[in-house]
Structure 1
Amino acid sequence: MTKPYDILLYYCYSPIADPEAFREEHHLLCLELNLLGRIIVSNEGLNGTLSGLRADCEKYMQAMHADPRFARIDFKVDASENHAFTKLHVRTKTEIVHSGMLHINPSVRTGVHLSPAEFKDMKDRPDVVVLDVRSDYEHSVGRFKNAVTLDIENFREFPDKVDELKEKYKDKKILTYCTGGIKCEKASAFLLEQGFENVYQLHGGIIKYGMEAGGEDFEGKCYVFDNRVAVDVNKVNPTVVSACYVCGTKSDRMVNCANPVCNLHVPICENCGVELDGACSATCKEHPEKRPYDGSGYYQKELNGYNPLKGFNRRKTTDAPA
């Protein structure tokens, strides 16, 4: 049976003159189309993940492509049984992905974009290094076979690792990758700025590679930033690379510790989940604030009376009085 919902993942580096005015208009568009998710608006562009009924998502993509600023957006579309989010947030920020590399403009210079087929053809060559630019909790549950991974808690730490990369791989061809491609835009541009000469990026990221190349040699699952947490991408030679935080058995079941004070985000197998009632340790199991465990290890954030219309200065109205 056809899944009725779509999940959209996209970004676009394109100047937005008045981010706050655009945010307001764009938020209203998403409300009209019954879309949920997260969108970041900046003067450098857009970064979004949304979910909605297929027809509503189609209308959204048509509206975006009709705007010359966003005509080149490459939407990654995944079918779903239901919404991947419970609310809508459209926010303005300094960057559309927090990197701290404010001087980098991917629209001016960035790594060579490789299609999934081109990436697949190049990735195993002896003069190539495949570089994962994501955070440690992301690549812990899945990464490309033989990829170089970085011990970073967030993307802001990427520049701190470049000197180390330069010592080992400066004369190699660097193939960067991430979930949907956005981090690679700045990461590859920064590598070029730092003296690397042959820098490439997987266009559309792991998600597009799974859709167009079957995900071959991507080991484990791909971490995503919605209610699914981690998704399968490899239809050719899948495997599990992560281990249960508690017992060490193979497990790609990413959960949050039921103790909200801890909230550790790691793989925990179903057996340990049951034994520790959703906690990551015996200490957390006994914590007085421990959340009820429903077997999923996922805890929805409190909406706290969330009102998506709050803060609007302009509203669409019916015909104004004469």
Structure 2
Amino acid sequence: MTQYQTLLYYCYSPIAEAEQFATDHLAFCKSLNLTGRIIVADEGLNGTVSGTKESCEAYMAAIHADPRFAKTEFKIDEVEEPSFMKMHCRYKAEIVHSGLRDKTIIDPNKQTGKHLEPEDFKKMIQEEDVVILDVRSNYEHNLGRFKNAITLDIENFRDFPEKINELAQYKDKKVLTYCTGGIKCEKASALLLHHGFNDVYQLHGGIIKYGKEANGEDFEGKCYVFDNRIAVDVNTVNPTVVSKCFNCGTVTPKMINCANPECNEHITQCDACGEKMMGCCSEPCMSNPRRRQYDGTGYYVKVPQPVKVPVK
């Protein structure tokens, strides 16, 4: 019987004095012995936390007791051990960095795509004149994606606004957006509507909820998650592996972070290459003096980067 849970959630709801809230919230999470990563911004919360079932239940109760976050939905995974090593709660300008200088262009509380529950999403992706749009980064959709989905060549979500023109050809189609847990789609769908797309939808709860409620049907590969599990299974109906080893091209579902902390590239790498390359993506990374010890998982606690002194 598993003793731990991992909670994935977000909530767009204005927070007054958000920076102080982040400090207080970190102390609260530590009092519950939770580990995880939470982003706090004036616009709301975005977090993944992990701990005992009792601690997670206490955390969810506290979040729901706050009127600002009463409607927060938690995606709950049963895990064998906590999915993080430490607890971080930081204040940032946005809970998802949009790359927009004018943040007033989109507000998920005012306009966003039509939310589709997993079963409705599963039906709609079979319709004609429908476009399935993955709004995640390259390393995420390279590991797994919906069958026939359009993927974007972006390193981070902040690059998404620059791709709007490439998507203009789909303005008159039904555009179904999806991401890991739903949070990126809130802004992506709002931005598409702002730019004149007529019929925009989003997968409510993202890939994670789709796996739980629709058995992940037609999602190919694994889903990247932002904790030390790195990747999780989604599809129990017709699972496939779509990712290939960055080094040798062998089909593999395993994703790692490069063992060189100055690179830290997200790559898919088979076990054989992992051992051969010592968890690195390239030979130069293997020879880096700060290379981390590879333990077969490819997950590392973040190492502070050295401060670069500008050359005068």
TM bin, normalised by shorter chain, reads over 0.9
1:168-317 matches, within 5 Å, as: 168-302=169-303
Normalising by the residue count of structure 2, what TM-score does the alignment of the two structures yield? 0.93
CA distance in 1, matches of 2:26, 2:286: 40
1:136-195: CA deviations, max 9, x gaps? 1110100000000000000111111111101x2111000000000000001000100100
Between the aligned residues of both structures, percent identity stands at 63
In 1, distance between residues paired with 2:93 and 2:255? Answer: 30
CA distance in 1 between partners of 2:16 and 2:89 (Å): 17
Asked whether 1:39 is paired with 2:41, we answer no
Matched with 1:155 is 157
Question: Which residue identity is paired with 2:116?
Answer: L
Amino acid at match of 1:285: M
Q: Secondary structure at the match of 2:55?
A: helix
Structure 1 stretches lacking a partner, 5+ long: 305-322
Quote how far apart the aligned CAs of 1:303 are: 8.5
Q: Taking structure 1 as reference, are residues 272 and 110 closer, same or farther at Cα in structure 2, changes over 3 Å only?
A: same
Q: Does 1:78 align with 2:80?
A: no
Q: Which residue of 1 aligns with 2:308?
A: none
Which residue number corresponds to residue 111 of structure 1? 113
**SS in structure 2 opposite 1:107?**
coil
258-267 or 198-207, larger mean C-alpha shift: 258-267
In the TM superposition, what whole-angstrom CA distance separates every residue of 1:246-271 from its partner, at most 9, and x where no partner exists?
11010111112233333332111011
Q: Which amino acid aligns with 2:184?
A: K
How many residues are matched? 302
Once residues 289 and 68 of structure 1 are traced to their aligned partners in structure 2, the CA distance between those partners, rounded to angstroms, is 46
Number of the residue aligned with 2:91? 92
Greater shift, 144-153 or 98-107, is seen at 98-107
1:7-52 CA-partner distances (Å, limit 9, x unpaired): 0000001111221232233222212211111111111111111001
Alignment of 1:61-76 (within 5 A): 61-76=60-75
User: RMSD of the alignment, in Å?
Assistant: 1.5
| Structure-1 separation of matches of 2:99 and 2:286 | 37
- Counterpart of 2:149, as a letter, is A
Contact 2:115-2:202 within 8 A present in 1 as well: yes
Aligned mates of 2:304, 2:162 — CA distance in 1: 36
Aligned to 1:138: 140
Unaligned runs of 5+ in 2: 306-312
In the TM superposition, what is the alpha-carbon distance from 1:274 to its structure 2 partner?
1.7
Q: Which moved more, 1:243-252 or 1:291-300?
A: 291-300
SS state at 1:140 partner = helix
> Cα 1:13–1:239, aligned 2, differ >3 Å: closer, same or farther?
same
- In structure 2, distance between residues paired with 1:287 and 1:194: 45
Tell me what 1:121 maps to.
123
CA distance in 2, matches of 1:222, 1:33: 28
Give the TM-score taking structure 1 as reference length. 0.90
Q: Which residue of 2 aligns with 1:312?
A: none
Radius of gyration: which is bigger?
1
Matches within 5 A, 1:5-20: 5-20=4-19
2:23 is matched with: 24
Q: What is the CA–CA distance in structure 1 between the aligned matches of 2:264 and 2:61, rounded to whole Å?
A: 39
Q: Tell me, what secondary structure is at the counterpart of 2:164?
A: helix
Contact 2:261 2:303 survives alignment (8 Å): no
SS of residue paired to 1:246: coil
CA distance 1:28–1:259, change in 2 (3 Å):
closer
Question: Separation in 2 of the partners of 1:300 and 1:80?
Answer: 19
Give the aligned partner of residue 310 of structure 1: none
Classify 1:124/1:81 alpha carbon distance in 2 versus 1 (closer, same or farther; 3 Å): same
